[in-house]
């Protein structure tokens, strides 16, 4: 493990009481931060300090602190989840920063993700897109066929798995200049498009999910690719291409 | 005093569940539409239950404190899920899974529940595959398996190191389908703060909307608690930051008994603590033990040199390494169960052979170099490469290891900045899973009629130790396949009840107690933060109620926890208000409950005068440090009834009867 070193930092943090409040940046100092600490541990220390001063701590979403739940959403120095590729904020460690640095910390900004408080935003639009078709319509009663009676080629299974690893964090939306949710939606559509179980309702799925995605106020995809760069799980743009193909063929052949 | 009736059906073990299902009452679909069920928690247990109950036709209201069900703690599970499919033809069967689970749990689980779990395990895999869960496949397109600690067959299904994620997303998609249909009302960012009992039956909950602070009343004909485990009583654990005991503790205070609180699993392969700024610990899946070998230096001076940063593990010659698990347990080696592996690591570190850079030297090595070379050689043979250099073979081997565990290795490197392909990983045991929980009968019902507990929140299936890959199995078994049957039998009495009103005195009283507590926190202008108390509690728990316990330490712990609790109620400060999001307020309520549970936990450990599974009393061990169980006096679940202060709790015993598996000393030698 690298030697522990105490960093002194200036933090510029977005504070916003609620959705109606205008919000503004506040400046705080933190001292003696171990380089082995995670970014969220640094935020904990800031919050302990604020509580000791009788102030309200900064609200931010977090839970697993292992890079898998998709909760921790912040913009750090103008990048979703901060510097470094394929990581979430909880996986970002303070060894990436230097003593004396100033760090800017802001919430996701997108029309479809209204701010709830400080760094916390409402991502429930993703859940509504999922409810519109992000599933395979099978009963949960357990009377399904034996699992090995649906063989799946390893390459397909692996690709489906890669698409399925999306953690629903919203970094793709936050880093897209149009606030498009294409990467997120295409990941789910691709997972099912690659598996035999998902074929039967494939057309309906892609059409419904895209419809709700538009209604929720996500923007259009203009193929800039910023989403892929900031995605902590390396979800690839290929998925968007696959979804476009699915969507196109659904619109051509659909009898709706 | 309530009597414990475990309601285990009559008949031979292999027929109990089938016979039971054939004889319970059913609710017809039209009547299900007029019945409401509340599910608290949307992890694997709650999510699968909510989806299935909705599928059956009940009106479901599901609650979780995260912003989406997809973020429940289950998402973090890495290694895999067990099922007795015997796809590998290595001799697996329902009976063997049943046997391994009972033995692995050190004969402190309920036979009938465990057998049912083993029976339905195979359905889980079918169900998940049908939902599109992308499990690992072999080149023939069939499902792949691996093996996990404590067993000798390959029965674990997995999706790289992200099995929990894939299973939970499967479950969440099944929920999404029902949400879309309007059969599940989803309450995200809501926390249950009390249960409402009317005429002795659970009839609703009081919840707080975490966005605007509103206190809400929700009624139902039954309440299902699926709120996960309470390992965070230790402050540092592998659990998600928000995991807590509150829902289980609230039903306990309203009459549900709490069983075996001291049965906690310490997981052997976690990343060691880096310092006092640490907020949680990270697990390295134990599937790594399939290929990693665990060792420490055989000579103390080498260990000291490593701790001082003067030597690297690579400087230690093969003959100067102590592969202590392989030495002590030749037949299971690095694959001994978690409790055994954890204690063995602690023993070596306590004896001065640890390699951690923290002051106590708490770490041992998990080394992949032999696996890398073995796989590399195999690859070279398969590809027909001859005369490869050592570094070429190593490169081939690293590729194979990357395919199996890539994301885990990456995670390790991100956290520690060390490259585990080149230098052995450092690991140390950490609090991981709680086998204790709300007491339930065979129907998964608590001692409050109409209140159920499923998944990690209940106590029944794992005994004193949980084998790897069996928590996910239990969560999904309870939610998809067990509760949906058993709850029907209870709800059959409610087809004429009609909607449960929320304007009754019972709701008034519960709401008032919730509000009073919130007001107290916001108005108590103390001088210390919630975390201050949580960290202090955690230290006492780890030092005196942790991996090894003794009478003296436990008595001290009980007194110290009481003191911390008293000080908490005097000195805690919670900034902010109740009309907007207030994470400190949420934490305050949870820590208040941990401070009560912590004491009961220590009392339970004190009462249990034996060592078994995750519970290790130093007074009850052999010369070599092996646990000594006392079957004559302790073949029971310790079931606590709430009477006010934790020190007043009354102990009941559920005798555990082993008719099908002979109680034997558990040996992995
Ligand atoms: C890092 C890690 C790796 C693991 N790996 C494995 C593995 O490989 N295999 C295996 O079998 N097991 C594994 N486990 C264990 C397993 O993941 C858990 O035991 C299991 O997921 C618990 O599921 P659950 O549904 O009971 O609870 P959880 O998934 O913890 O869900 C709890 C739910 O309750 C909600 N909740 C809690 N309190 C309240 C409240 N008061 N009000 C409203 N909602 C509330 C939460 O929001 C959440 O939705 C692992 C555990 C960890 C920590
Ligand atoms: S696609 Fe990537 S960035 Fe977008 S939600 Fe999924 S994981 Fe996050
Ligand atoms: S806290 Fe879960 S991904 Fe960061």
Percent of chain B with pLDDT over 70: 99
Q: Which residues of B touch A56 (CB under 8 A)?
A: 575-576
Top mutation candidate among B49, B65, B169, B483 for ligand 1, by most atoms within 8 Å of CB: B65
Provide the ipTM.
0.97
- pLDDT tier at B407, thresholds 50, 70, 90: confident
Integer CA distances (angstroms), B28 to A135, A141, B23, B183, B449, in order: 27, 16, 15, 16, 21
pLDDT interval class at A2 (50, 70, 90) = very low
Contact yes or no for B188 and A127 at CB 8 A: yes
3-state helix, strand, coil in chain A (%, to 5): 40, 15, 45
Q: Is the pLDDT of residue B148 over 90?
A: no
- Residue A255 — very low, low, confident or very high, per pLDDT cuts 50/70/90? low
pLDDT at B442 over 50: yes
Single out the residue of B266, B285, B307, B270 nearest to residue B416, CA to CA.
B270
* B68 Cα to chain A: minimum distance (Å): 7
Is A71 in contact with B176 (Cβ distance < 8 A)?
no
Per-residue burial over B202-226, b = 16 or more CB atoms within 10 Å of its CB, e = otherwise: bbbbbbbebbebebebbbbbbbbbb
What are the Cα distances from residue A215, in Å, to A126, A180, A209, B187, B564? 12, 12, 10, 22, 52
- In B, minimum Cα distance to A20 occurs at B580
Pocket flag, ligand 3, residue A65 (CB < 6 Å): yes
Does residue A83 have a pLDDT over 90? yes
**Which of A63, A76, A231, A232 to probe ligand 3 with, by most ligand atoms within 8 A of CB?**
A63
Please tell me the predicted confidence (pLDDT) of residue A59: 98
- The pLDDT of residue B2: 59
Distance CA A124, CA B67 (A): 7
What is the number of the ligand 3 atom nearest to the C-alpha of A91? Answer: 4
Residue B664 confidence (pLDDT): 87
Taking the C-alpha atoms of residue A111 and residue A174, their distance in angstroms, rounded to an integer, is 10
pLDDT tens digits, one per residue of B308-317:
999 999 999 9
Asked if B629 and B481 count as a contact pair (C-beta separation under 8 A), the reply is: no
Q: What is the mean pLDDT of chain A?
A: 94
For residue B480, list chain A residues with Cβ-Cβ distance below 8 A. 140, 142
| Residue found by looking up tokens 């392909």 in the block | B421
Asked if A61 contacts A71 with a C-beta cutoff of 8 angstroms, the reply is yes
Q: How far apart are CA A79 and CA A104, in angstroms?
A: 10
Tell me: pLDDT of B584 over 90: yes
What pLDDT digit, counting tens, does each position of B219-255 carry? 999 999 999 999 999 999 999 999 999 999 999 999 9
Ligand 3 atom nearest A89 alpha carbon: 4
Coil, strand, or helix at residue B631? helix
**B591-647: pLDDT as tens digits:** 999 999 999 999 999 999 999 999 999 999 998 888 999 999 999 999 999 999 999
The stretch B411-430 carries a mean pLDDT of 94
CA proximity to B573, closest of B524, B639, B626: B524
pTM value? 0.96
Tell whether the model's pLDDT for residue A197 goes beyond 50.
yes
> CB within 6 Å of ligand 2 — which residues?
A 166-172, 183-184, 187, 231-233, 235
pLDDT digits (tens, 9 = 90+) for B12-22: 999 999 999 99
Residues from chain A contacting residue B76 (CB–CB below 8 Å) = 64, 66, 68-69
Q: How close does chain A come to B176, measured CA to CA in Å?
A: 4
CA–CA gap between residue A115 and residue B259 (Å, rounded): 42
Mean per-residue pLDDT of chain B: 95
| Least CB–CB distance from A144: residue in B75, B127, B179 | B127
Residues B261-295 have pLDDT tens digits of 999 999 999 999 988 889 999 999 888 998 999 99
Q: What pLDDT digit, counting tens, does each position of B150-199 carry?
A: 678 899 999 988 999 999 999 999 999 999 999 999 999 999 999 999 99
Alpha-carbon gap, residue A136 to B54, rounded angstroms: 16
Ligand 3 atom at minimum distance from A72 CA: 4
**B275/A40 touch (CB, cutoff 8 Å), yes or no:** no
CA distances B180 to A131, A191, B506, Å, are 5, 20, 33
CA–CA distances in Å: residue B358 to residues B428, B490, B546: 12, 54, 19
The secondary structure element, H or E, covering residue B487 is helix B483-491
B211 with A116: Cβ contact below 8 A = yes
């Amino acid at each position: 493990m690298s030697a522990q070193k105490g960093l002194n930092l200036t933090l510029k943090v977005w504070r916003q009481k609620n959705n109606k409040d205008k919000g503004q940046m506040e400046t705080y100092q933190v001292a003696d931060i171990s380089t082995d600490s995670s970014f969220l541990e640094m935020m904990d220390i800031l919050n302990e300090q604020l509580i000791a001063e009788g102030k309200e701590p900064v609200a931010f979403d977090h839970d697993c602190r292992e890079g898998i739940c998709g909760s921790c959403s912040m913009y750090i120095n103008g990048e979703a989840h901060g510097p470094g590729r394929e990581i979430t904020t909880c996986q970002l460690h303070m060894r990436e920063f230097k003593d004396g640095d100033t760090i800017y910390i802001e919430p996701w900004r997108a029309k479809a993700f209204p701010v709830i408080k400080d760094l916390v935003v409402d991502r429930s639009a993703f859940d509504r897109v999922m409810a519109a078709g992000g599933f395979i319509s099978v009963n949960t009663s357990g009377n399904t066929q034996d699992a090995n009676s649906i063989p799946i080629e390893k390459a397909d299974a692996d690709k489906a798995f890669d698409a399925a690893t999306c953690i629903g964090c919203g970094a793709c939306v936050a880093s897209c200049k149009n606030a498009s949710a294409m990467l997120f939606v295409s990941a789910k559509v691709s997972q099912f498009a690659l598996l035999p179980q998902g074929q039967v309702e494939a057309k309906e799925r892609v059409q419904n999910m895209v419809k709700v995605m538009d209604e929720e106020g996500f923007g259009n995809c203009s193929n800039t690719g910023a989403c892929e760069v900031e995605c902590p799980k390396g979800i690839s743009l290929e998925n968007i291409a696959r979804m476009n193909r699915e969507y196109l063929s659904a619109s051509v052949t659909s009898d709706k | 005093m309530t009597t414990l009736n475990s309601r285990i059906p009559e008949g031979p073990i292999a027929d109990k569940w089938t016979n039971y299902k054939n004889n319970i009452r059913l609710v017809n679909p039209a009547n299900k539409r007029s019945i409401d069920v509340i599910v608290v928690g949307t992890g694997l247990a709650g999510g699968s239950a909510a989806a299935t109950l909705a599928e059956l036709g009940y009106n479901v209201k599901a609650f979780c404190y995260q912003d989406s069900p997809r973020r429940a703690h289950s998402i973090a599970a890495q290694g895999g899920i067990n099922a007795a499919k015997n796809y590998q033809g290595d001799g697996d069967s329902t009976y063997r899974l049943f046997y391994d689970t009972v033995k692995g749990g050190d004969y402190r689980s309920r036979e009938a529940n465990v057998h049912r779990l083993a029976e339905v395990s195979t359905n889980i895999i079918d169900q998940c595959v049908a939902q599109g869960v992308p499990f690992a496949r072999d080149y023939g397109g069939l499902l792949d398996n691996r093996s996990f600690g404590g067993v000798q067959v390959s029965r674990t299904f997995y999706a790289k190191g992200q099995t929990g994620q894939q299973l939970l997303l499967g479950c969440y998609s099944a929920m999404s389908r029902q949400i879309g249909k309007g059969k599940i009302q989803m309450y995200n960012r809501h926390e249950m703060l009390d249960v409402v009992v009317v005429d002795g039956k659970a009839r609703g909950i009081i919840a707080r909307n975490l966005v605007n602070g509103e206190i809400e009343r929700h009624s139902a004909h039954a309440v299902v608690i699926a709120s996960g485990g309470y390992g965070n009583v230790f402050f540092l654990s592998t659990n998600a930051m928000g995991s807590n005991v509150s829902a289980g503790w609230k039903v306990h205070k309203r009459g549900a008994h709490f069983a075996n609180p001291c049965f906690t699993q310490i997981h052997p392969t976690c990343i060691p603590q880096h310092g006092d700024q640490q907020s949680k610990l990270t697990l390295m899946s134990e599937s790594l033990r399939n290929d990693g070998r665990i060792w420490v230096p055989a000579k103390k001076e080498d260990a000291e040199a490593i701790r001082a940063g003067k030597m690297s593990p690579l400087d230690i010659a093969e003959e100067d390494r102590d592969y202590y698990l392989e030495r002590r347990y030749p037949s299971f080696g690095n694959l001994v169960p978690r409790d055994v592996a954890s204690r063995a690591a602690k023993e070596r570190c306590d004896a001065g052979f640890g390699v951690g850079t923290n002051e106590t030297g708490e770490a041992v090595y998990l080394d992949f170099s032999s696996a890398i070379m073995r796989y590399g050689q195999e690859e070279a043979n398969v590809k027909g490469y001859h005369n490869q250099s050592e570094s070429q073979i190593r490169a081939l081997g690293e590729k194979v290891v990357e395919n199996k565990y890539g994301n885990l290795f990456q995670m390790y490197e991100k956290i520690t900045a060390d490259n585990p392909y080149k230098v052995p990983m450092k690991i140390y045991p950490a609090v991981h899973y709680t086998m204790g929980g709300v007491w339930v009968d065979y129907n998964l019902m608590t001692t409050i009629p109409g209140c159920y507990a499923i998944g990690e929140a209940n106590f029944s299936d794992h005994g004193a130790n949980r084998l790897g890959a069996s928590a996910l199995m239990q969560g999904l078994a309870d939610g998809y396949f067990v509760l949906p049957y058993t709850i029907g039998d209870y709800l059959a009495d409610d087809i004429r009840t009609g909607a449960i009103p929320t304007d009754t005195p019972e709701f008034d009283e519960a709401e008032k107690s919730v509000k009073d507590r919130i007001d107290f926190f916001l108005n108590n202008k103390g001088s210390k933060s919630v975390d201050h108390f949580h960290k202090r509690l955690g230290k006492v728990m780890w030092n005196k109620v942790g991996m090894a316990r003794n009478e003296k330490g436990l008595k001290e712990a009980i007194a110290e926890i009481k003191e911390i609790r008293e000080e908490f109620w005097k000195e805690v400060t919670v900034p902010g208000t109740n009309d907007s999001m207030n994470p400190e307020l949420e934490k305050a309520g949870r820590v208040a409950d941990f401070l009560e549970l912590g004491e009961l936990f220590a009392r339970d450990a004190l009462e249990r005068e034996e060592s078994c599974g995750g519970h290790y009393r130093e007074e009850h061990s052999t010369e070599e440090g092996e646990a000594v169980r006392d079957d004559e006096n302790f073949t029971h679940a310790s079931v606590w009834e709430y009477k006010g202060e934790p020190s007043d709790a009354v102990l009941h015993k559920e005798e555990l009867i082993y008719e099908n598996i002979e109680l034997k000393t558990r040996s992995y030698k």
